[in-house]
Amino acid sequence: MKYFVTVSFLAVLGFMVTCKTSKVTSVAHEPTLRQIKPSEVMGYHDPMNLNIAWYPYEDLMLKQTKDNNWVVVKSDSTRKSAIPVILITYPGRPDSIWVQMDTENALLGKLIKHSLMTKEPIHEPFGEFFAEAKCTKCHPSNVIVDFEK
């Protein structure tokens, strides 16, 4: 019983010390608002153009030659058609890239956003593009943003 009382006393004492030394600070922040003035634009980033381009194609085949090499030849079907791609160009610059239509929307949006914000043209491989087109490269230092989000 004496052991139980001692342990209980130490537990209560420990709780009291913890509560006494732990401070909960609450700082009230004044609510803030931003007023954006669209008529007073300070500047623009370089534009980029997105178009749907239709590239013609015709079916081809692989044929094995007598000496066990493979060659590309026109298909017997003579089928010709066109496929759509997203063509991204930068006015006044030689850079352009076409992105396949099956590119995921999230990736396409991230490519466009990074290119517009950093003024870097999109190129493949996309991982290399994202490494080069970092927001910290041209972001104003007085605007605090957590780029790791």
What pLDDT digit, counting tens, does each position of 97-129 carry?
999 999 999 999 999 999 998 899 999 999 999
- What gap in Å lies between CA 109 and CA 115, rounded to an integer? 10
Over residues 57-103, the pLDDT tens digits come to 888 888 899 999 999 888 777 778 899 999 999 999 999 999 999 99
- Both tokens of 77, joined, read 């079907």
3-state secondary structure of 87: strand
With H, G, I as helix, E, B as strand and everything else as coil, classify residue 64. strand
Residues 147 and 136: beta-carbon distance below 8 Å: yes
DSSP conformation class of 5 = H
Nearest-angstrom CA–CA distance, 43 and 140: 13
Instruction: Please tell me whether the overall predicted TM-score, pTM, comes out greater than 0.85 for this model.
Output: no
Tell me: cis bond preceding 94? Omega within 30 of 0 counts.
no
> Tell me, what's the pLDDT at 116?
92
Q: Give the residue extent of every domain in the chain.
A: 44-149
